[in-house]
Amino acid sequence: MDSRTSTRRLAALLGFATLLAGHGVAGPVPGETRFPAEFDPQESVWISWPRAEGFVDGLPVVPVVARIVGELAPFVPVDLLVPGRREGREALEYLEENGFPSAHVRLHVVRHAELWLRDLGPAFLLTDGELAAVDFGFDGWGYAGGPALAADAARKLEGTDRAIAEELRIPAVRSPLVGEGGGRESNGRGTLLLVEELEARRNPGLSREAIAEGYRTVLGVRHVIWLREALLEDQPVSRGVLPENLFASGGPGGHVDEFARFAGPSTVLLAEVPQAERDASPLARINGERLEENHRILREARDQDGNPLTIVRMPIPDPIVVQTDSALHSKFVYEDGTVVRPDGRIQVLATASYLNFLVTNGAVLVSAYWQPGRPDSTHWKDERARQILESVFPGRKVLQIPAEPLNFGGGGIHCVTLPQPRAGGED
């Protein structure tokens, strides 16, 4: 089946009026279309090579991405996006020089290869077992850095999903919805987790039911579970100052992959803040209240077949704060009226999470945070997160990676990786 025939077939299946320029949908997605779960079999994992040194001084992101690429070698091929051939050669040289194998790496040149590929890449579908892609709208993470910065990001990065589809020569359909990959969590069997606050900000003017219907139509899901709010540290910088005079590190504004993930068709991992931590910190108290409300929603929820969910609680990392130059944050437009001088110092809170993990064939990659000088509770939480992941993903090796430099950009391991499902459906 050539690309044009496959594209026409996908368009007919999804009921779309136009491809890559659509403004609406017509009719539900047929049963042949499936939005796989991350724990389903994968063909490869897509990653972008970093173009910037890091988000805060002394915490470079290149070693973290290189470690992820290297750890994946025994389990799955890596499709690596680079902005040019020279950068591709440099990336492969860096991997080899630092002891990371690169024989499993395939290079793809994409002009605007941005680090946060989960958000910018396509939503991969299986249609009658064949790979296809959906191109969701992108608005620069909902004006997270102010309208001018968001418009520039949207202009440069919006085509990444289409570029990947073209590299793979697979059909791609545009959805009228705006959203990012980190905001959607699928059990692969027809149920989708979404965050109500985030979706409303991305798609103003659309009702919750209209948004759900848009996802049902384009992704083939049958059921949506609406969680209420995400973690405070994941809010956009533009929202304003956090409790305890902290600034967010640049989160997208409420992605579900920071606090709730499917570990199986009916098992959900949900972050938890212990009562003692809530009593000691205003930030922890608010996060705890939000997570308990989401816990209530999940307890009452059912999957696509009407079955209850099994909920497993995960620790939330100890807060990680750095003092940094205020120049970057001074460029943001703050909704609460905050004004930041460009020549000062501010306290920035990392978007740290044990839920922002990557599941792939035979392995789970998760952040680890303990280092000498940090409290024993950090070490205990690292170990507890590992134990829980080993229990809910039996047969997969849990690999812990110090990914803190990514957290200060508002994301993590899950945010910089994009699994490509294996054609043919479930094992």
Which amino acid would we find at residue 79?
D
> Would you say residue 152 lies in a domain?
yes
Q: What is the pLDDT of residues 157-197, one digit of tens each?
A: 788 999 999 999 999 999 999 999 999 999 999 999 999 99
Q: What is the pLDDT of residues 110-128, one digit of tens each?
A: 877 689 999 999 999 999 9
Instruction: Identify the CATH number of the domain in which residue 23 sits.
Output: 3.75.10.10
End-to-end CA distance of the chain: 23
The pLDDT assigned to 12 comes to: 43
> Would you say residue 343 lies in a domain?
yes
Under a CB-based contact definition with an 8 Å cutoff, are residues 333 and 232 in contact? no
CA 295 – CA 273 distance, rounded (Å) = 12
The pLDDT assigned to 331 comes to: 82
The pLDDT assigned to 334 comes to: 85
Nearest alpha carbon to residue 250 among 358, 141, 372, 384: 141
> Would you say residue 228 lies in a domain?
yes
The pLDDT assigned to 150 comes to: 65
> Would you say residue 425 lies in a domain?
no
> Would you say residue 204 lies in a domain?
yes
> Would you say residue 427 lies in a domain?
no
**What domain range includes position 89?**
3-420
As for how many domains the chain has, the answer is 1
The pLDDT assigned to 280 comes to: 96
What are the 10-residue block averages of pLDDT along the chain, 427 residues in total?
A: 44 40 34 89 97 87 98 98 95 96 95 86 95 93 64 75 94 94 97 96 95 95 96 88 91 93 98 97 97 98 98 97 89 86 93 98 98 96 98 98 95 97 78
> Would you say residue 230 lies in a domain?
yes
Number of residues that make up the chain: 427
Residues 6+ positions from 260 with CB-CB distance below 8 Å: 185, 193, 227, 268, 269, 270, 271, 294, 298, 355
Q: What angle do CA 240, 241, 244 make, to 5 degrees?
A: 160
> Would you say residue 75 lies in a domain?
yes
